[in-house]
Structure 1
C-alpha cells in the first residue's frame, strides 16, 4: 500500500511540474508577442520600403495619400502653361510609379534623374529631366510614424 501511495504521489508531482513549466513557456511566448507589438507600434516606417510599396500597390497608394490632395500643375488651357493649383479627389487620382532605375538617366529618350531629400519628418522626391522638360516634386510627410503623400508640384511640359 505504501508503494502505491508513493507511486501516486510521484505521478501527481510530475503532472504538477509539467503543467507549471508549460504555463511558464506560454507566458514567455505571450510576453514576446507583446514586446514585438510594442516595438512595431513605436517603429518609424522606412521611407525606401514605403516607396517601393507605394509605387507597386495601388490600394496602398490610395491609403497613403491625404485626399483631397492639393497639387500645382501647368495650366494646359493657358498658352504659357502657367502653374495653377488644383485639388484632386480619391476617384480622380491616377496611380504614380516612383520607382527609379539608374538606366533612366542614360536611355535614348525621356532621360531623368530622381533624388530624395529628407528634412526631419518630411521627404521630397525630386524628378528632373535632362533637356526634355520633365520637372516634378512629390512631398511626403511622416504622420503617426507612417509616410503620406501630402502635395505635389508637377511642372513638366
Structure 2
C-alpha cells in the first residue's frame, strides 16, 4: 500500500510539473515589453528580426518595389523616440499574433508600416512597407 501511495504521488507531481512547464512555454511575450527592449538594445533588436528581411518601399519613380536586406546590411531602428512626435504620429494596430506600427508624417510625406509577428511566443519584426513620398 505504501508503494502504491508513493507511485501515485510521484506520478501526480510529474504531471503537475509537465502541465506547468507547458503553460509557461505557451504564454506569449508581452508586446510592450518586447518593443521597449527592441528599441533600447541593438543586439536584441537584431536577434528579433527575421532575416533575410523582405520589405517594400517606393523607388525613385514612387513605385512600390520589393527589397531584401541581409543581417550584415541591417541598420538598427529606433521607433519610439519622443522627439519624433512633433512631426510623426504612431499608431499600433494589435491583433492576436500580428502587430502593425503605423508611422504617419504630419505634412512631411512619411507613411510606413512596420509589421511584427508572434512566432513561438516571441515577437519578431517580419517586414515593413514604406510608401513615403
Trace 1:137-156 onto structure 2 (pairs within 5 A): 137-156=113-132
Higher helix share: 1
Q: CA deviation at 1:143?
A: 0.3
Report the TM-score, using the length of structure 2 for normalisation. Answer: 0.78
Note the 1:6-155 alignment, pairs <5 A.
38=21, 40-76=24-60, 80-101=61-82, 104-105=84-85, 107=86, 111-155=87-131
Number of paired residues? 116
**CA–CA separation in structure 2 for the residues paired with 1:56 and 1:156:** 25
Given the two structures, how large is their TM-score scaled by the length of structure 1? 0.67
Counterpart CA distance in 2 for 1:119 and 1:142 is 10
User: 1:81 Cα deviation (Å)?
Assistant: 2.4
Asked which structure has the greater CA Rg, the reply is 1
Cα separation, 1, equivalents of 2:84 and 2:67: 29
Segments of structure 1 that go 5 or more residues without pairing to the other structure are 1-33
Q: Measure the CA separation in 2 of the matches of 1:104 and 1:152.
A: 19
C-alpha contact 1:100 1:114 (8 A) present in aligned 2: no
Higher relative contact order (CA 8 A, sep 6+): 2
Partners of 1:59 and 1:131 lie apart in 2 by 33
